[in-house]
Structure 1
Amino acid sequence: MIALLLRDMTLAVRAGGGFGLGLAFFLIVVVLVPFGVGPEAAVLTRIAPGILWVAALLAALLSLDRIFALDWEDGSLPLLATSPLPLEAVALMKALAHWVTTGLPLTLAAPVLGFLLTLAPEAYVWLLASLALGTPALSMIGTFGAALTVGLRRGGLLMSLLVLPLYVPTLIFGAEAVRRGAEGTGATTPLLFMAGITFGTIALLPFAAAAALRVNLR
């Protein structure tokens, strides 16, 4: 499992779908927002939690179609399916590799980009906590979507349509946690809901992704 994780992380970086692309997109969105809504600090501070979470979500979405695509193209996916490692473990390692190369860099970069949106100082801890709890769910849901569409022509568009509605609860609770943290009203409740979503996806979606892969490999 560790060898598969290291292999996928290396492929993600070499194929151009790793942290560099996601971080660049994240930065571009955050830089463009003040041009669209104006430079007023009060406005930017109010919308910063939602903008940062939407930008992180879309940045994570960019590389989802490559989670299984490279293995499908070089013929290694059928070999993984017949290996002693269960497909459920393969899906879990794929999601973990995506999180390490995409979700984790986005989480670490978010406070720096929050400064560009004049995010309230009280919200930085909650921004880090919400992204650290929420981005694993984004990767796991994305892995399930990638398993559903592997081998399809233009499957990336279909995968986006399937995955984006499933991202909505994580987005809502993540932005709400940061907003409450900025206002000092207590962000524990949305963080607990987000933790429940993340642990639920990790517990259930590897089995769903493995089932989808078995269907597509027949």
Structure 2
Amino acid sequence: MTALLARDLRLAFRAGGGFGLALAFFLIVVVLVPFSVGPESSLLAAIAPGVLWLGALLACLLSLDRLLALDFEDGTLDLLVGAPIPLEGALSVKALAHWLTTGLPLVLAAPVLGVLLNLPLAGFGWLTASLLAGTPALSVIGTFGAALTVGIKRGGLLLSLLVLPLYVPTLIFGAETARRGAMGMEATTPLAMLTGITLATVALMPFASAAVLRMGLR
């Protein structure tokens, strides 16, 4: 499992679809928002939690179509299906590699970009906590979508259409946690819900991903 994780991390950097692309997209979204809604500080502060969470979600979505595509093209997926290690574990490792190269850099960059949107000081900790709790679910759900569309030529759009509805609960509770925290309100309840969603996703979704991948490779 450790060797598989190290291999996926190397491939993520070599393929050019890792943290650099996600961070660049995240930065572009944050920079363009003031141009579209105006430079009013109070308005930017009000929408900052939602904008930052939506930007992080879309940035995670960018690299999902390559999550399993390279392994499918070189035959690695067929070897993983027949390997003695559980396929569920292998897909969990791939989701972890995606989070380390995409989700974690976004978590670290979000507070810095929050300054550009005039995010209230009280919201920085809650924003970071919500992204840290929610972005693993984005990677695990994305792995499920990648398993559904593996082998489909130009399946990136289909992957986005399949995954985005599954992202909605994570987006709702993540943005609500950051919004309440920025307003000085009680934010532990939506954060607990977000954590529960992530834990349930991490526990159950790899089995669904493995099942659809086995069917897709038959």
2:25 paired with 1:28: no
Q: Which runs of 4+ in 1 moved over 2 A?
A: none
Residue 35 of structure 1: how far off its partner (Å): 0.3
Match of 2:151, SS?
Answer: coil
Match of 1:121, SS?
Answer: coil
- Which residue does 2:127 correspond to in 1? 127
Match of 2:122, SS?
Answer: helix
Number of aligned positions between the proteins: 218
Match of 2:45, SS?
Answer: helix
Residue 48 of structure 1: how far off its partner (Å): 0.2
CA displacement, residues 70-91 of structure 1 (integer Å, 9 cap, x when unaligned)? 0001111101111111110011
2:78 paired with 1:83: no
Amino acid at match of 1:41: S
- Which residue does 1:216 correspond to in 2? 216
- Which residue does 1:13 correspond to in 2? 13
CA displacement, residues 44-71 of structure 1 (integer Å, 9 cap, x when unaligned)? 0000000000000000000001111000
Residue 127 of structure 1: how far off its partner (Å): 0.4
CA displacement, residues 22-55 of structure 1 (integer Å, 9 cap, x when unaligned)? 0000000000000000001000000000000000
Amino acid at match of 1:63: S
Amino acid at match of 2:45: T
User: TM-score, structure 2 length as denominator?
Assistant: 0.99
Provide the C-alpha distance between the structure 2 equivalents of 1:157 and 1:140, rounded to a whole number of angstroms.
Answer: 18
Match of 1:184, SS?
Answer: coil
- Which residue does 1:116 correspond to in 2? 116
Equivalent residues in 2 for 1:57-96 (5 A)? 57-96=57-96
Residue 179 of structure 1: how far off its partner (Å): 0.7
- Which residue does 2:41 correspond to in 1? 41
Provide the C-alpha distance between the structure 1 equivalents of 2:129 and 2:43, rounded to a whole number of angstroms.
Answer: 23
Equivalent residues in 2 for 1:44-193 (5 A)? 44-193=44-193
Amino acid at match of 2:2: I
RMSD in angstroms over aligned alpha carbons? 0.5
Residue 14 of structure 1: how far off its partner (Å): 0.8
Residue 8 of structure 1: how far off its partner (Å): 0.5
Residue 110 of structure 1: how far off its partner (Å): 0.2
CA displacement, residues 113-155 of structure 1 (integer Å, 9 cap, x when unaligned)? 0000000000000000000000000000000000000001121
Unaligned runs of 5+ in 1: none
CA displacement, residues 163-186 of structure 1 (integer Å, 9 cap, x when unaligned)? 000000100101100110011111
